[in-house]
Amino acid sequence: MAAHIIDGKAIAAETRAQLATEVAAFKNETGVIPHLAAILVGDDPASAVYVRNKERACEKAGMKSTLHRLSAETTQAELLDLIAQCNNDATVHGILVQLPLPKQIDEQTVLDSVTPLKDVDCFHPENVGLLAQGRPRYQPCTPRGVQVMLEKSNIEVAGKHAVVLGRSEIVGKPMAMLLVQKGPVANATVTICHSRTANLPEITRQADILVAAIGKPNFVTNEMVKPGAVVMDVGINSVDGKLVGDVDFDAVAPIASAITPVPGGVGPMTIAMLLDNTLTAARLAAQ
Ligand code: GUN
């Protein structure tokens, strides 16, 4: 049986419409407009597209967004100065520093400098710590997007074996934390695999839910997937000018029970979750 194709675009649109209603109610109640400050350093074309999409999504949800564009030659001190201004600006609720950053800038130092209450990416150690303890302040955007897609697709997660392919700080690790924690759309048995994992296909074939987040185009083949598994593809790779995921979709879709496409799968969910975190940030500031 062919897999159910999980429509990330539709689920993201539904989530954003719901969010727009919540933003309107919050504005009514408090007179405050949730405000995201995005910082883009350099001229990476993919990053410019992401940031523009974030701005548009904010606008559509009734939120304010400010884009700070800095040149590729920006020094770390200049960037830290701008972040300090945003940290101290009471009208800014969420701060997003678009990654990757130019090589003269230390990413960790910059991400650590965002005040935890405005850290809507959930990259600050305080927020990662809260997440690890099962009491998240913010939900990491891409992993949370995957979890919402599982929820909206009525996929049972509790007691299942979820295998996360990739151990990045942005996706792999926080994804594993969300799925293993107590709560709805969680309580899974979780394995994290990475570049040094031995007998990788043997492990991925045990997955009831397989999350691919390694950044290698078409890496997951049908031999690596158990028939009937749910396959969530976080990969966004450009091959000959075309976007492809980490999963060989044509090979895997015939044996999976459900699968996300690329594009139109996990990607659109990330922005929806960022907006959700920005509203949370505005609520925390209003308290
Ligand atoms: N670059 C690629 N993904 C992300 C993300 O989720 N957040 C930020 N800030 N930069 C990114």
Beta strands in 134-283 (DSSP E): 161-165, 189-193, 209-212, 230-233, 237-239, 242-244, 258-259
The residue among 97, 115, 133 that closes a domain is 115
Which protein residue has the closest C-alpha to ligand 1 atom 9? Answer: 98
pTM of the model: 0.97
Name all contacts of 219-224 with Cβ < 8 Å and 24+ positions apart: 219/165, 219/246, 219/247, 219/248, 220/165, 220/246, 220/247, 220/248, 220/252, 221/248, 221/251, 221/252, 222/248, 222/251, 222/252, 222/254, 222/255, 224/200
Residue 62 within any structural domain of the chain:
yes
Which protein residue has the closest C-alpha to ligand 1 atom 3? Answer: 99
> What is the rounded distance in angstroms from the CA atom of residue 122 to the CA atom of residue 258?
28
* Same-domain check for residues 156 and 99: no
**What six digits make up the tokens of 269?**
């969910």
Instruction: Let me know: does 232 contact 164? Beta carbons within 8 Å.
Output: no
CATH classification at residue 45: 3.40.50.10860
> What is the rounded distance in angstroms from the CA atom of residue 185 to the CA atom of residue 143?
12
Report pLDDT for 273: 98
Separation of 142 CA from ligand 1 center, angstroms? 9
Chain centre distance of CA 91: 24
* Same-domain check for residues 91 and 187: no
pLDDT in tens, 59-76: 999 999 999 999 999 999
Neighbours of 27 (CB within 10 A): 15
Residue 132 within any structural domain of the chain:
no
* Same-domain check for residues 259 and 153: yes
CATH classification at residue 246: 3.40.50.720
Domain count, the chain: 2
Please state the atom number of ligand 1 nearest to the C-alpha of residue 270.
6
Residue 157: partners with Cβ closer than 8 Å, 6 or more residues away: 150, 179, 185, 186, 187, 188, 209
Residue 82 within any structural domain of the chain:
yes
Q: Which residues of the chain have pLDDT under 50?
A: none
* Same-domain check for residues 56 and 93: yes
> What is the rounded distance in angstroms from the CA atom of residue 118 to the CA atom of residue 138?
10
Residue 160 within any structural domain of the chain:
yes
The pairing of strands 161-165 and 189-193 is parallel
* Same-domain check for residues 145 and 258: yes
Q: Which residues are catalytic?
A: 54, 98, 121
* Same-domain check for residues 231 and 187: yes
Report pLDDT for 1: 67
Residue 136 within any structural domain of the chain:
no
* Same-domain check for residues 183 and 109: no
Coil vs helix vs strand at 266: coil
The residue among 100, 115, 130 that closes a domain is 115
Residue 24 within any structural domain of the chain:
no
Ligand 1 touching residue 170 (CB < 6 A):
yes
Ligand 1 touching residue 188 (CB < 6 A):
no
Phi, psi dihedrals of residue 30, rounded to the nearest 5°: -115, -20
Task: Choose which residue among 86, 111, 121, 168 to substitute to test ligand 1 binding: the one with the highest number of ligand atoms within 8 A of its C-beta.
Answer: 121
* Same-domain check for residues 229 and 168: yes
Residue 135 within any structural domain of the chain:
no
Report pLDDT for 2: 82
Residue 279: partners with Cβ closer than 8 Å, 6 or more residues away: 19, 22, 23, 26, 34, 63
* Same-domain check for residues 169 and 261: yes
Residue 13 within any structural domain of the chain:
no
* Same-domain check for residues 62 and 164: no
Structural domain for 93, as ranges: 31-115
- 250's enclosing H/E stretch is helix 249-252
Ligand 1 touching residue 274 (CB < 6 A):
no
Which protein residue has the closest C-alpha to ligand 1 atom 2? Answer: 99
Coil vs helix vs strand at 121: coil
* Same-domain check for residues 257 and 175: yes
* Same-domain check for residues 108 and 145: no
